[in-house]
Amino acid sequence: MHQNTTNQAAKIILTGDRPTGPLHLGHYVGSLRNRVRYQRDYRQFIIIADAQALTDNMNDPDKVRRNMIEVALDYLAVGIDPTLSTIFIQSQVPELAELSFYYLNLVTVARLERNPTVKEEIRQRGFERDLPAGFLTYPASQAADITAFKASLVPVGADQVPMIEQTNEIVRRLNFIAGREVLVETAALVPEVSRLPGIDGKAKMSKSLNNAINLSATADEVTAAVKKIYTDPLHLRVEDPGHIEGNVAFTYLDAFDRDQTGLQEMKAHYQRGGLGDSVVKKRLEACLQDLLTPMRTRREEFSKDRAYVMELLKQGTQKAREVAARTTDEVKAALGLSYF
C-alpha cells in the first residue's frame, strides 16, 4: 500500500454550505460542479454548516433544522456519491466548536471586521450594533472546519476566498506557536466563472433576491423561469442585431451548453440580427431541463427513503468526528494542553 509521506500533502477536500435554503444553479456553478468532479481524486468531506447558519438565524432555528436534510438531498441529487464523499453535520461534531475556541485567540476583532465576506454580509443584513458576536467570529469556526480535516483544497465560490485567506493566517500562527507543522495550509478551488447572475439580470443569483432557479425546481418551474429571463432590452424585433453582454440567456448557455460550437454560431446569428429571443430561450430551456431532470429523479429516489439519508449523515458524522478529534488532540498537545 502506498503511504503518504510526511511532506507530501494528502489530497483532502473539506467544503460545505449553510443550510438556510435550497441550493440553486449559482451554487452548482460556483462549487457543486467541482465537488462532483473532484470527489474521485480527493478524499472529500462535505459539511452541512448548521451551527454556522445559526449565527444569523437564532430567531428561527427551525428553518435551519428543516433545511439540513434538504441540503443533504441537494448534494445527493447533484451527484455527490456517498461512497466517495463523506457528508456530515457540523453541530454534531463538538470538536469543531472546541477548535474554534482556541482559534478565536489567533484572530483579532479588527481582522475579523476587515474580512471582506463578513463585512459584506453584515452590510446586507443591516446588523449595525446588533451584530451577533458569533456572526463576526464565524471565520474562526470555518477555519476549524477546514483545518480539522487537514484539507488541502476547498471548492467554493469566489465570495469564500477571504475565508480561506483567514484560515491560512490561523494555520501559520498556530504552527509558529507550536514550532512545527501541526496544521496544513489550504487553497480555494474557484471555477473560472464562479458567479451566475439571477434570472432578472442582477449580478448574483440568490434566494433572497428571488431570482434563483433551484436545483430541485420542477420542469414547469424551469419553463417559467426561462420565460422570465432577462435578455437584451434593446432587441425589440427579430431582425434587429442583439447584444450578448449582460444577456442572461447567453450567460447561462455559456455555463451549461454542452455544444459550445453550436452556441458560438447562435451568438453570431443573434448579433447579426434575424434571431429571436424565443429561439435562444428554447435552446436554454432544453439545456436546463437536461441538467436538472436527472437531479430531480435522483432527489425523488433519495426523498423516498429519508431514514436512509439520515443514516448516511449519521455514519458520515461519526467518521468526521474521528478525524476532527485526532486533529483537536494534536492542536491541544501543541499548545501544551495535555496533562494526563
Q: Which residue ranges make up the site for ligand TRP (CB under 6 A)?
A: 14-18, 47, 49, 52, 142, 145-146, 154, 156, 160
Give whichever of 89 and 217 is closer to ligand TRP, judged by the CB atom: 89
Q: Give least dist CB 190 to ligand TRP, A.
A: 12
Within 13 A of 233's CA, how many CA atoms are on the CB side?
A: 4
Candidates 40, 92, 56; CA nearest to 310 is: 92
Whole-angstrom distance, CA of residue 234 vs CA of residue 243: 8
Radius of gyration, CA atoms only, the chain: 22
Adjacent-strand bridge partners of 24:
214
Grid cell at residue 68:
439540513
Closest to ligand TRP by CB, 159 or 181? 159
Nearer to ligand TRP, 82 or 157 (CB): 157
Residue 154 or 249: the one with the smaller Cβ distance to ligand TRP is: 154
Smaller CB distance to ligand TRP: residue 93 or 309? 93
CB of 294 to ligand TRP, least distance (A): 24
Least Å distance, CB 339 to ligand TRP, is: 31
Distance CA 65, CA 72 (A): 12
Sign of CA dihedral 50, 139, 180, 12: positive
C-beta nearest to ligand TRP: residue: 49
- Between the alpha carbon of residue 277 and those of residues 75, 157, 240, 269, the distances in Å are 33, 30, 11, 11
b/e map of 56-83 (b: 16 or more CB within 10 Å)?
bbeeeeeebeebbbbbbbbbbbbbbebe
Which alpha helices (DSSP H) does the chain contain, by range? 25-27, 33-38, 50-53, 61-78, 94-103, 109-114, 116-125, 133-136, 138-148, 161-178, 219-228, 248-256, 260-272, 277-304, 306-334
**Nearest Cα to Cα of residue 46 among 24, 78, 21:** 78
Of 155 and 242, which has the nearer Cβ to ligand TRP? 155
In the complex, least distance from residue 14 CB atom to ligand TRP, rounded to whole angstroms: 6
* Nearer to ligand TRP among residue 106 and residue 146 (C-beta): 146
Which bin fits 238, alpha (ψ -120 to 50), beta or left (φ > 0)?
A: alpha
Q: For residues 77 and 27, give the distance between their C-alpha atoms in angstroms, rounded to a whole number.
A: 13
Could you tell me the smallest distance in angstroms from the CB atom of residue 2 to ligand TRP? 27
- Map grid coordinates 491541544 to a residue: 332
Closer residue to ligand TRP in complex, CB, 191/276 = 191
The residue among 147 and 247 lying less far from ligand TRP, judged by its C-beta, is 147
Cβ 81 to ligand TRP, closest distance in Å?
19
How far apart (Å, rounded) are the C-alpha atoms in residues 48 and 87?
Answer: 7
Instruction: Give me the least distance between CB of 43 and ligand TRP, in Å please.
Output: 15
d(CA 14, CA 156): 10
